[in-house]
Amino acid sequence: MTAVVEAELVGGRPSTSKGIWRDTLGNILRQRNAIVGLTILVFLTLTAVFADQIATHDPEKPLFGIVDKVKKSSAPCIHALGCPADQPELLMGTDSNVRDEFSRVVHGARISLVVGFVTVGFAIVIGTLIGLVAGFAGGWVDNILMRLMDVVLVFPALLLAIAIVAALGQSLINAQLAIGIVAIPIYARIMRASVLSVKESDYVTASRALGESATGILFRRVLPNSITPLVVAGTLGIGGAVLDIAALSFLGAGAQPPTPEWGSMIGQESGRIFTAPHLIFFPGFALVLTVFGFNLLGDGLRDALDPRLNR
């Protein structure tokens, strides 16, 4: 289905419009970055959805008594690639608690994607509301809200997040909350800026003249016109959120063991980098791939959705 649309749009003349949604989709599919990013993310999403089927073992339980001759922190062993047949076949080896690393990395995709979406979703909702109110109300309301956002922005994000987690207690939920709070100003600023630019436009004046209420104007006129920058910032933001939450978990301030979260897995095994580097490499690679996917898609979306770049 997508392939048909893609072929049709890529082949078509750019000057003929086929409606806003198909034009947009065509613009996105013409971006090489966006396609690569989207492919990576589809792959990760499938991994996350079918994690239970893909994983070969329980990600949180040691393999003692389940797999014969299993050792802790053992290197990957794949029989087809020349690993001796008398050793158990484990795609990514075991971690220092004799858990199956492959199953943990697979389940980590589920955690990282959910965590990224929820965190950024939270930041976008709150940030958008703050930005809408600040931009629309103006005056002292605007001043107080935006100065508050400035204060949050003055702290290095990760340090502020660590402080918030320390105050609330160390858990994955609190880490998400902390990273979400730290990200609010970004979306508030974007929203406020687009409200300010849309507020004075003729069609908003027209709606006002027609007697539309302030909330009606806000949600029916202003918000839809501000979606583009939010989508772009949000996509890039998910990559950042995944990275920051992994960093918090790496420091022990986010997901707690035995949760198969990539950052926490790396943090738990960082002392074994010299003896069992695969325990850093596999979750590290998964993390890079995820963030890379969101960054590429975000860049592609920005190029596709920003009409000023359509030269």
Partner 1 sequence: MLRYIVRRILLTIPVIFGILTLVFFLGHVLPGDACRAILGERATDAVCAAYNHAHGLDQPIPVQFGNYLAALSHGDLGTSTKSSQSVLDLLIQRLPVTIELGLAAMLFAVPLGIVLGVVSAYKRNSIIDVVTMAGANVGVSIPIFVLGLLLAFIFAILLKGTPFALPPSGRLSPGLTIVPLATSWGLTDWTGIPRGIIEFLSNMYTFNALVTGQWAILGDAIRHLILPAVALGTIPLAIIARITRSSLLDVLGLDYVRTARAKGLTERNVVRRHALPNAMLPVTTIIGLQLGSLFGGAVLTEGVFNLSGVGRAIFEAISSRDFPTVQGFVLVIAIIYLTINLVVDVSYAFLDPRVRLT
Contact residues toward partner 1 (CB under 8 A) are 33, 147-148, 150-151, 154-159, 162-164, 166-169, 239, 243, 246-247, 250-251, 263, 266-267, 270, 273-274, 277, 280-281, 284, 287-288, 291-292, 295-296, 299
Cβ proximity to partner 1, 131 vs 298, nearer residue: 298
One DSSP character per residue, 151-164 reads HHHHS-HHHHHHHH
Cβ proximity to partner 1, 59 vs 263, nearer residue: 263
CA angle centred on 94, ends 275 and 277, rounded to 5°: 30
Cβ proximity to partner 1, 127 vs 267, nearer residue: 267
CB of 123 to partner 1, least distance (A): 17
Cβ proximity to partner 1, 17 vs 39, nearer residue: 39
3 state SS of 100: strand
1/203 Cα distance (integer angstroms)? 37
130/132 Cα distance (integer angstroms)? 6
CB of 237 to partner 1, least distance (A): 13
Cβ proximity to partner 1, 114 vs 159, nearer residue: 159
- Closest by CA to 289, choosing from 99, 44, 121, is 44
Cβ proximity to partner 1, 98 vs 148, nearer residue: 148
CB of 161 to partner 1, least distance (A): 9
125/2 Cα distance (integer angstroms)? 30
Beta bridge partners of 94: 100
Count of Cβ atoms closer than 10 Å to residue 25 Cβ? 17
CB of 208 to partner 1, least distance (A): 28
CB of 311 to partner 1, least distance (A): 10
Give me the phi and psi of 301, to 5 degrees please.
Answer: -60, -40
- Closest by CA to 302, choosing from 118, 26, 33, is 33
CB of 116 to partner 1, least distance (A): 13
Give me the phi and psi of 19, to 5 degrees please.
Answer: 95, 150
